[in-house]
Amino acid sequence: MERRCLDAQNKGVSTGTTILAATFDGGVVIGSDSRASVGGEYVSSKTINKVIQVHDQIFCCMAGSLADAQAVLKAAKFHLSFHSVQMQSPPQVIAAASVLKELCYNNKDELQAGFITAGWDRRKGPQVYVVSLGGMMVRQSVTIAGSGSTYIYGYVDAKYRPNMTREECLQFATNALALAMGRDNVSGGVAHLVVITKSGVEHVVVPGDKLPKFHDQ
């Protein structure tokens, strides 16, 4: 086990992941797989939670080193909670993304973590932001990240349409995760999805065997 850890290029347990988020008419869907691996050869957890709630209607997905991502999200939760107490109102989604961006950019030499933030706020409605490894923050209507995302760029570019219905968007996200999990060795497990709308938050978990199959004999 020690050898496995020493050989790992990434720091210890990596989320080696597929994460995505997409906006639809009236809300946003954010989702991830649930595999955590060490050194690209051992699955250290089949059920790791990568979709973290940082505030009532704001969720973040993590990619990269599990330790770094968990530490950054802990700090982000604290900052957001403090910010919302000071402002006496729920934080905006861009605030959450900015907190992550500041942490990732200012500590870019030590950290190896990327995030997708998605949520709903009163000002701008449903939003998705991606904060990449070096600390770049960009708002997009649909975004994918993690090692498994490379296998689904084509699918996402071809199949995503703005203003889908909730069911269409959920199916789109499930399909995308299933395709990525099917091709990427460090993505797998169950598909965790969260649907965030004005009225609230809904968790959808699709177990591995119930995921859509694409030419799997």
Partner 1 sequence: MALVNVLETPAGGFSFENASRNAALEKIFEGRKTPTPLKTGTTIAGVVFKDGVVLGADTRATSSEVVADKMCAKIHYIAPNIYCCGAGTAADTQKTTDILSSNLAIFSLNSGRNPRMVMATNIVQDMLYRYHGNIGAHLILGGVDCTGNHLYKVGPWGSIDTTPFMAMGSGDLAAMGILEDKFKPNMEMEEAKELVRAAIDCGIMNDLGSGHNIDLCVITRQGVDYIRPFQESLYKDNRNTKYKYRRGTTAILTQEVVPLKLEVVQETVLRMDM
Residues that bind partner 1 (CB under 8 A): 1-2, 5, 11-13, 36, 42, 44-45, 47-48, 65-68, 70-71, 74-75, 78, 110
Least separation, in Å, of the C-beta of 48 and partner 1? 6
17 is catalytic: yes
Annotated catalytic residue, options 17, 117, 143, 197: 17
Nearer to partner 1, 74 or 213 (CB): 74
Nearer to partner 1, 2 or 167 (CB): 2
CA distance 113 to 198: 29
Nearer to partner 1, 144 or 190 (CB): 190
The tokens 């990732």 sit on which residue? 104
Least separation, in Å, of the C-beta of 49 and partner 1? 9
Helices (H) and strands (E) counted in the chain, each on its own, are 5, 13
Nearer to partner 1, 13 or 180 (CB): 13
Contact by Cβ (8 Å): 103, 115:
no
DSSP for 132-190 reads -TT--EEE-SEEEESGGGGGGHHHHHHH--TT--HHHHHHHHHHHHHHHHHH-TT--S-
Least separation, in Å, of the C-beta of 187 and partner 1? 17
Catalytically active residues, by annotation: 17
